[in-house]
Structures are given as structure tokens and as C-alpha cells.
Structure 1
Amino acid sequence: MKNIKYILSILTVSLFLNSCTEDFDSINTDKKNLLTSEIATADVALIAKGSFYGATYVGAPSNPGRNAGPFQLIHSLFPDVYSNYFATTAANFGSDQFELVGRWLNGGYNYNYYNVAPELKFALDYSAENNLEVENAMMKVWKVYFYHRITDLWGPIPYSQFGKQESGPIAFDSQQEIYNDFFKLLDESVAVLKANSGSSSFFGVPSADVIYGGSTDKWLKMANSLRLRLAIRVKYADAALSKNEAEKAVSDGVIESNSDNAAIHSDGPNFINPYNVITGWGEFRMSADMESILKGYQDPRAAQYFSEAVTPDPTDDPAGVTFNFEGMRNGQTKSQKQGTSFNTIASDMAAPYTERGAIGPDMPVIRAAEVYFLRAEGALEGWAMGGTAQELYESGITASHLEYGLDGNDLSGNDYVSSANVPAALDASTPAVSTVPIAFDTAGTKERQLEQIITQKWIALYPNSEDAYADRRRTGYPTLYDRLNSLNPNIGVNEIPRRMPWVSSEYDNNGEAVQSALGLPEMSGGDNGTTKVWWDKK
């Protein structure tokens, strides 16, 4: 197996068999040269399992009080607040005011490259070298999932050259090249999974596949659904590629039922949902956008997502409805946060996410509701998506409600899908965030219908803020409140960061490659938060 330059540590058999530990640096005597010949197949399953958790939970196992650190750094402090799912209440946290804090980004980025990427590469190499074609196909799908979340935040990243050389610079790939490789990997994986339909396999330990238990049929649906997500993402950058890949995905079979949803199953005591740790720190609350939209729509998912505020404001509740879920505007200044008890007057996450010591909810990878909304957007373009935009839009709403065991009615007991409800005013001085109704506007413009689709998709994606943030950049929707304040002189209160700047560890340890990457056409705006990633072309 080729050496991996970026490895500072890699999970070994003892990591799993002797319980998990954060002291990765002391586990291996030779951290660069862990050979596939030295590991049994069943133990590779556990290394692969680590890559599943690491890519989604973004944290080291074993210490529930610490395993959420990288998750907070790369997920909670950036996509969570740039998707406007949450606003920060911590007085000294500037990312909600568009401060792209380098040391935070560095911590989250390095966790992915120093821990998850080596595990993933090891499982890929082992399965290839030992002719485990089904497992190799599954890990290729996971590679696409893992890296798309990184490139969608940073644009060009080390990708094709990761782990291929002993020393020297590790080249960055352009995002366009990376996406092209994603579709190639998915082609290869789908062919294998289709050829092995009806089987179950995962390095001899099906339970280590914490997504689907080794089911090739379910992995096939996930692969096609992931292809659809990425196809729609490049719609404004390469319409022909987008259409071709989207229609291919739907033709091959995507997730249509919640029973096929892909999620990482929380597993105590080592792999608990990171929100069940960070909610205890009291550093964020429900956004004003969530309040305006969920309150106006009288959306029953409010109680599935958030807790009632300790001190709610009943003066702006819908007529005949008690709505104790309260939000706060994004971009509060330090003095504003110090002077107001936002943790009391705004809502925390719902109880399943706040119980300390509990394993918490499963973390979504891709779900039926999202897939229906992706298909609805494709249908707006006239593509073969297996239904009309309205049919698929309504199916997406229904799937999201069913995911939470809801009956399809709003808080007043009326049919949600056909409701004319629109977002509500936040309070007496703050009007509604948007005017789009729930009921599909058949007479509306294509852009109006797109706003409806993305608004409902935004609700259904929760708490998957990475993809909600990508949609905001890609489409401009949903329509959300401006920031109250920006600490970034280059990003106004009515804008959002378009990408994350490359981290200091890349400049320090891979500087030659960084300088070369700055010459890529998509980096013509420089390494900052205003340069758009390749697919951000609308």
C-alpha cells in the first residue's frame, strides 16, 4: 500500500477491539506504513466503520465530552449558522457575523484529513487488493460522500494525490475535476452493486456497515441518490452534465421511501450524536428564520426540531395556535449577546438532541424527502424525473412528515401540503422572512416554484446544514433574513460567505501546492470567503 503523507495517525485494530481512544498518536509505532497485509479482513470492517462515523460525526470516539470538538469547528460554527438553522449565543463567537475564524476551520479540516481520509483510503486499498469488489464499490460511494462535503466548503482541495507520495507537495484538484471523478466513481460503483443485486456483504462483518448492514440494494439507491444530489448541484455550472447525471440517477433507482434513508446510526458509548454534547455548552439557539417559516406554516416539525423556549413570547403566535418555539436573528454583536438572555428567550434543539449522555438521533446522510425535492427541481427543467415538479414537491413534503411520524396536517389540523399559509412576522417590528406559500404555485414563475421547492427542502434537510448552506449559495434560496452585523469587511450583511479560506496547516505544510492552486481559474478571486466555488454560477 502506498504511503500516506497526511497520516498523523490511523485507526488500528486495537483502536476498536480494546475500546476507542483519542490518543491516536500513540497507537501506531509506524504511522506512515500500515500495510494491508498486516490487517485481517474483519478488522478492516472496523476501520471502514470508523470512516463512516468520522465523516459524519467529525469527532474522535471514546470521550463523549471531547468527541464533538471537530464537529463543532467544521459544522456547528459555520454551515449551521450559514444555512440559518441556528444563530450563536456565545458572546465571543464571530463566525455568525461572517468572521471566518482560521483556527476553527483548521481544526475541522485537519480532523478530516488526518483521521477520516486515511481510514477511508485504507479500506479502499484493502478491498481493491483483495478483490472485494462489493466492499470496494461501497467505499467508493462513501469516498464521494466524504469528499463532496469538503470540496463544497473549500473548492479546490487535495484529492487525487492524497496518499500517493512519500514527500513533496500534495497537489490540489480543481472542483470541476473532483466532481467529474465523483461521477466516474459512482459509475463504477453502481455497475458492481447492480451486478450483485440482492446480496449482503461488508468485509465479513455486516454490522460494521452502520448505514445499511451490507445491503447492496440499499447502497445502490444511496449511490444513485448521491449522484442526483451532485447532479443538481452542478446545474448552473454545466447544465448538460447535470441533466445527464440526474436522469441517469433516477433511471437506475433512487431512494423513494424513508425505510431506505441513509443515516449513520448513533451507537453508545463511543459514537454518540455530537449535538448531544454541544447543546450542553449553550452556545446556539434556533434562528429567527426558522421561527418565521415554521410559525407561519404552522409546521408540526417545529416540535421535532426544537424545544419550547424557557420564556416564550405569545404575542406573535398564529391565531388559535400556541407556538412557543422562538428564534433569534443571526449576526448579534458581542454586546447584544451579553445584554440579552438569548438562551432563555430562544429555543434550543429538541429533547432528543439535548439529553446529555444519550446516544442521540441518527445523523442523516441522504433521505427520501431530499431526493424528491431534487427530482422536483430537475422536473422544473423539463428533465425525466418520474413525475411533475408539483407531484415530486408534494411527495417531498409528505416524506419529511412521515419521517417524523406526522399525519400531514398543520398545527391547526388542516392539510399541510395544500395550505395557503405563508411565513409569519417574527415580531411586531420584523416582517416575515418570505412570502412563498406551502401550496405549489401552479401559476407562478419557474423561479417562484424553485423558491418553494428549496424552502421546503431547507426545512426537510434539518439538521444537515452542509447541504442547506450549499443550496443557499447555489440558488439564493430560501429567502432568509440579512445579518444584523458583519465582522467581515468583504461580506455584507445581505450576503453570505461563498467558500472557506484554505487553512494555515496547508500553507505551512503544503505551501507549494497552495500557491499552484491559487492559479486555478476558479480561484481567480483569491483565497477568501468571497470567491465562489466552481458550481456556484447562478
Structure 2
Amino acid sequence: MKSIYNSILYILCAQFVLLSCTDDFSEINTDPKNSTVDGIDDGLIPLVAKKSFYGAVYMGQNANGPFQLGHSLFSDVYANYFATTAAGFDSDQFILVDRWLNGAYAEQYGNVAPELKFALDYTAERDYFSTENAMMKVWKVFFFHRLTDYWGPIPYSNFGEVESGPVMYDSQKDIYADFFNLLDEAVATFDTQTGQSVFFGNTANDIIYNGSVDNWKALANSLRLRLALRIKYVDGALAKSEAEKAVASGVIMNNSQNAYVNSDNGNFRNNYTTITQWGEFRMSADMESVLKGYKDPRVANYFAPADSVDTLDDPVGLTFDYEGMRNGQTANTKTATPFNTIASDMAGEYTVDGSVGPPYPILRAAEAYFLRAEGALEGWAMNGTAKDLYEQGIQMSHAEYEYDGTNLSGEDYISSTNVPAGFDSTTPPASTAPIAYDEAADKERQLEQIITQKWIALFPDSEEAYAERRRTGYPTLYDRLNSLIPSQIPVDEIPRRMPYVSDEYNNNREAIDDAVNNPEKLDGPDDGTTKLWWDKKN
């Protein structure tokens, strides 16, 4: 994989991927061995940036496959949003299948990272693109934080800079330090452009914010807040400082500032609309338990009624036709049980083959409020109390889907003492966390409430939900029914990281050996049991 990191190839990759996707650009007559940033026309850069936006959220640009391989088969089932129904899909029983992870990793480092670096370098060399460069710095933080939170130490500071030889891995501690520096630089630039709209000459080129500098600044600060809370258990002082800086500078405050990669009829479609056609996953028992017990109206936006429903476990006075299935089903059970019929698929807008589908979330107001609620729980300056911010987080999530704050029975949602329900008529719920904020409870119970509501609101952003499960231990969810590697990862645990992939062992061996054998980088074996740098609580 060394060639992926070559500083010439990342430019060529950006050019040729662009030219293969559209007929709208002029032919580039340059010597491929001497291509440079200076040889590229400004008109090419918007699509490079857009493709990096799209590729980052969908784990690649040949995106149906990588999205399934890296997202649906791992974070979707480790966040317990879904369970797999396909008999041969063993990741739900903790087998970290290399060929799947390898496909996702290669796509991200082979396509997305080169185009992101190209856009960063191109804008850095042109003063008139200084604001766009700040936007791409924010996007670099978003893209790489998802990678490092999957794998831990990764190629980062040397990516695209090494002409030959190994591309060394950075420690996660150092990567996070650079994230905060990049966000500092980006926000400083945005502060000089308050109220402006700019993105490579046409704000329509920005498929996230239509060029709004103020919204990009809010996203940058909200990302800082997310990453600050991520390191709370490993460096509390830095977490507090960065979180308070984010809030003071201005985070996402309302749904009009929500960050999504917007779908369109061209190259940017929501890939759930494709992979749902394959019939390989369904709603988890945990989602049924929590949403049913809370009588949560958002269930209709997340899932479709099951084809065959179980009325025996419906709440009193309520018809609830959404059905889940336990994670960790054996291959034999999947073969023998019609889970695709008795458990719920995703909601309709995710399942229309060939449609553009809904926009994919990056970071939304509800999450920003829940992050602030957790910070307030620690006594940090978050401009509000933990209770008030928690309740505003719920309100923002409900308003995002145009609900008025009542539950499925017409009662006030936020003040409800409802708790999760058993997902069937015989199995008790895994959690007893109520909705109404329990001011008399200890801090840990209040944290469980905050993260449980955050878990609901994050859907379908399972990368973030999976990271938060590892970081906090919440929400409290059902154990797996089975683990195929119980001596390593028992049913009451989840993988703490993804192991490095075969391509790296074959093509970047010196660097990966350094990472694996250096406790300052990876502090444990290269498998799913080793915790990341920030994973210190449980």
C-alpha cells in the first residue's frame, strides 16, 4: 500500500477519479509523472472536495460495498442499532473479518484520504481559498477521527508525504492533539469571515452547508466538543479546557445548523437505499426495547413496521408494530428463522431502491446539547445545567423529525418516567433508565440517562454511537446471544477496536510492526480486545 501514500499518486488519483465521474471537465493534458497542484485548474477542486465529503461518511467512494463492509457489518451491529440476518455474517458474533475491514480501509486510504489531502494542499497554496482551506481542515478532523476511533494509531502526519519506505503510524494521543490544533486554525480563519458565504466560487458546491462560514464554525466547535468529551477519562484537564473553549466560541445550537452530507441524484446518494435491498440486517432488540418502552415517536423515522408482528409485548393501550431481534444469532438460527419477516427493516425513505435517500448526519444540535449536558455534569462551563441541556437535547432531536414533544400515547415525553420494555413478552429489558431526568440520582445514573438519549438521537450514525458505548459503557444494552470468540470477547463485551488489515501487513510492514510493538502507540495485541488511548473508563 506504499504507493497509496505517494505524494504524486494522491494528485493523480484525484484527477482521474474526477474525470471518470463526470463529463463536465476539460481534458487535462499534463505529464502524469510531473503533475503538481499548480497544474490543476480551479474548476476541478469543488468536486474533489465534494467527493471527500461523501466518501468520509460512506467509508469510500465506490461506496455501497465499503459502506456495508466497514459500517453495516461492524459499527451498526456494535452500536446495537441493527442485528444481522445473513447466516454467513459472523461480525455480529465478534469475528472481525479481515477481508471486510481490508476493503473499507483500502477505500478510505486509497480514495478519500488522497482527495482530502489534495484539496487541503491545493487550497493552502492559494490565498483566495483560505476559507475553503479552513473548511477542509475541519473535514480532515472529521474524517480522521472516525478512522482513529476505529483502529487507534493510524498513518496520519506522514500520509501523502513519503516518496518511498514505510509510512509510520501516529499515536492516537498525538493525532488528537493535532485535531485540536487544526480546529484552532480553522476557527481563527472563520472568525475573519463572519456572515460570509463562500465555497470555491459557488456555494452549491458545498453539499454540507451551502458555503455558510458561520455554520462551518459551529461545526468546528461542535467537533471540538465531541472530541473533548471523548478524552474525558484519559486527560480530564485537557477535555475540560477544549470543551469550554468550544462552547465559548459557539457550537451548533439549533437544527438549522445541523451538519449533513446531502444526497442528490448524481454521485451522492445515501447508500442505505442500496444495502437495504440485500435483506441482510434488521432492527435490534435493543432499539425495540428502548423505543417501545419510551413510547418514542422517532421509531417511525428509523424503522418500518415488521411484516409479521408480535402483539403480545405491546405496551398497554398502544399498538407497536416495530419488532427487533437479538444480536449474536447463530448461523443455524438465522437459517431457520424468518428474521427478515418478523423483524423491522429501516424506515421507508431508506429502502427505496434507486432513490437518493435521506441526507447522512455528521453532527446535529441534539448531540451538541447532550455533549454539553455531560460537560455540565462534570462541573464544566457549558452555559446551562446538566438537566436543562439534557432536556434541550431531547427537544432538538424530536424537533428534527417534526414532533411536538409528546410520546406515542400523547403524553409529555421529557417528563415521562417511562423506562425501556422487554423486547418480547418473556425477556426483561436490559436497562431501567427513565426518561425524566433524575436529579436525585448519582452522577453515573445521570450519565446513563444522557448517553441513552444521545444513543437514540445519533441514529443512524453508528460510528459515533459505537465509540460512545466503548467510552462510557452506556447505554445499558442486551448481551450478545453468542460470541464465536468467547475467550477473547465474551457476550457481555464488545470489540474495543478494529485490528489492522492484511494490506498493511503486506505492504507497510515496518510501520505496522512499529505501531503494534510500541506501547506508546498500541498498548496491547493487534486484536479487538485492546483499548484505544481514550478508552480508560471500563
Q: TM-score range by the shorter chain?
A: over 0.9
Partner of residue 19, structure 2: 14
Cα distance per residue 1:393-416 (max 9 Å; x no partner) = 000000000000111100100000
Amino acid at match of 1:512: E
DSSP-derived class of the 1:160 partner: coil
- Judged with a 3 Å threshold, the aligned counterparts in structure 2 of structure 1 residues 416 and 11 are, in CA distance, closer, same or farther, namely farther
Cα distance in 2 between the residues matched to 1:82 and 1:11: 36
Q: TM-score, normalised by structure 1?
A: 0.95
Cα distance in 1 between the residues matched to 2:320 and 2:430: 17
- 1:208 maps onto 2:192 in alignment: no
Cα distance in 1 between the residues matched to 2:319 and 2:425: 17
Amino acid at match of 1:3: S
Cα distance in 2 between the residues matched to 1:11 and 1:82: 36
Residue of structure 1 aligned with 2:493, choices 492, 495, 498:
495
Matches for 1:228-307 after TM superposition, within 5 Å = 228-307=225-304
DSSP-derived class of the 2:453 partner: helix
Residue of structure 1 aligned with 2:504, choices 503, 506, 509:
506
Q: Contact (CA 8 Å) 1:127, 1:133: kept in 2 or not? A: yes
For residue 5 of structure 1, report the CA deviation from its aligned partner: 6.2
Partner of residue 466, structure 2: 469
Cα distance in 2 between the residues matched to 1:246 and 1:7: 36
Residue of structure 2 aligned with 1:78, choices 74, 83, 86:
74
Cα distance in 1 between the residues matched to 2:400 and 2:34: 44
Query: Could you list the runs of 5+ residues in structure 1 that have no partner in the other structure?
Result: 21-26, 62-66
Partner of residue 517, structure 1: 515
Matches for 1:142-161 after TM superposition, within 5 Å = 142-161=139-158
Q: Contact (CA 8 Å) 1:285, 1:343: kept in 2 or not? A: yes
Matches for 1:102-117 after TM superposition, within 5 Å = 102-117=98-113
Matches for 1:417-432 after TM superposition, within 5 Å = 417-432=414-429
Partner of residue 372, structure 2: 375
Q: Contact (CA 8 Å) 1:3, 1:32: kept in 2 or not? A: no
Q: Contact (CA 8 Å) 1:4, 1:164: kept in 2 or not? A: no
Cα distance in 1 between the residues matched to 2:29 and 2:494: 42
For residue 45 of structure 1, report the CA deviation from its aligned partner: 1.2
Moved more, 484-493 or 141-150: 484-493
Matches for 1:82-97 after TM superposition, within 5 Å = 82-97=78-93
- Judged with a 3 Å threshold, the aligned counterparts in structure 2 of structure 1 residues 202 and 345 are, in CA distance, closer, same or farther, namely same
Aligned residues: 527
Cα distance in 1 between the residues matched to 2:286 and 2:19: 46
Cα distance in 2 between the residues matched to 1:19 and 1:34: 21
Cα distance in 1 between the residues matched to 2:30 and 2:166: 24
- Judged with a 3 Å threshold, the aligned counterparts in structure 2 of structure 1 residues 31 and 101 are, in CA distance, closer, same or farther, namely farther
Cα distance per residue 1:269-328 (max 9 Å; x no partner) = 321100000000000000000000000000000111000000010000000100000000
- 1:527 maps onto 2:531 in alignment: no
Cα distance in 2 between the residues matched to 1:98 and 1:31: 44
Residue of structure 2 aligned with 1:119, choices 115, 119, 130:
115
Q: Contact (CA 8 Å) 2:488, 2:529: kept in 1 or not? A: yes
Moved more, 438-447 or 264-273: 264-273
DSSP-derived class of the 1:77 partner: helix
Q: Contact (CA 8 Å) 1:4, 1:162: kept in 2 or not? A: no
Moved more, 41-50 or 282-291: 41-50
Cα distance per residue 1:119-167 (max 9 Å; x no partner) = 0001100111112210110000000000000000000000000000211
Identity percentage over the alignment?
Answer: 64
For residue 519 of structure 1, report the CA deviation from its aligned partner: 2.7
DSSP-derived class of the 1:197 partner: coil
Q: Contact (CA 8 Å) 1:370, 1:396: kept in 2 or not? A: yes
Partner of residue 184, structure 2: 187
Partner of residue 41, structure 1: 42
Cα distance in 2 between the residues matched to 1:206 and 1:223: 18
Cα distance in 2 between the residues matched to 1:254 and 1:515: 40
Q: Contact (CA 8 Å) 1:3, 1:33: kept in 2 or not? A: no
Partner of residue 353, structure 1: 350
Amino acid at match of 1:121: K
Cα distance in 2 between the residues matched to 1:322 and 1:33: 66
Q: Contact (CA 8 Å) 2:286, 2:477: kept in 1 or not? A: yes
Q: Contact (CA 8 Å) 1:7, 1:31: kept in 2 or not? A: no
Matches for 1:322-361 after TM superposition, within 5 Å = 322-361=319-358
Q: TM-score, normalised by structure 2?
A: 0.95
- Judged with a 3 Å threshold, the aligned counterparts in structure 2 of structure 1 residues 90 and 32 are, in CA distance, closer, same or farther, namely farther
For residue 48 of structure 1, report the CA deviation from its aligned partner: 0.7
Query: Could you list the runs of 5+ residues in structure 2 that have no partner in the other structure?
Result: none
For residue 199 of structure 1, report the CA deviation from its aligned partner: 1.2
DSSP-derived class of the 1:365 partner: strand
DSSP-derived class of the 1:195 partner: coil
Amino acid at match of 2:340: N
DSSP-derived class of the 1:149 partner: helix
